[in-house]
Amino acid sequence: MAQYAVLLYERVPPEDLPEEVQQGHLAMPERVAELGGRIVMGLALEPPETATAIRGDLVTDGPFIETKEVLGGVFVIEARDLDHALAIARLTPVVQGGVEVRPLLGLQILEGG
């Protein structure tokens, strides 16, 4: 099975997400398994104001680009193909945003490896 990143973009701050959306994220592994896929990893990100951006020699606090939607988290999934990955991504609960699906290159850098 191929691996895909499902990037979660949201306009609503994490602390303001409705309880049913938060519960929906927790239910994702089971729902994805029902479709024959697998969540390899899920990561929630701190708010964008905690970011530090590097562009060449310039280091700045906060996000470098202002947007209405911010990257709030990432699921790494295993799916048969892109169509299967899109079906899985459609399960992702969002309030005022969307998800982006990208195939992973397969490069893995492991600590000490």
Render pLDDT for 17-62 as a digit per residue (tens, 0 to 9). 899 999 999 999 999 999 999 999 999 898 888 888 887 888 887 6
pLDDT of 72-87, one tens digit each? 899 999 999 999 999 9
Which residue type occupies 85? Answer: A
Give the CA dihedral 81, 107, 44, 28, nearest 10 degrees.
Answer: 30
Asked if the model's pLDDT at residue 113 lies above 60, the reply is: no
- Choose the CATH number for 2-102 among 3.90.1710.10, 2.60.40.10, 3.40.1160.10, 3.30.70.1060: 3.30.70.1060
Per-domain boundaries in the chain: 2-102
CA separation for the pair 77, 89 (Å, rounded): 9
- Provide the whole-model pTM: 0.84
78-to-3, 26, 57, 68 alpha-carbon distances in Å: 4, 17, 36, 29
pLDDT of residue 63: 61
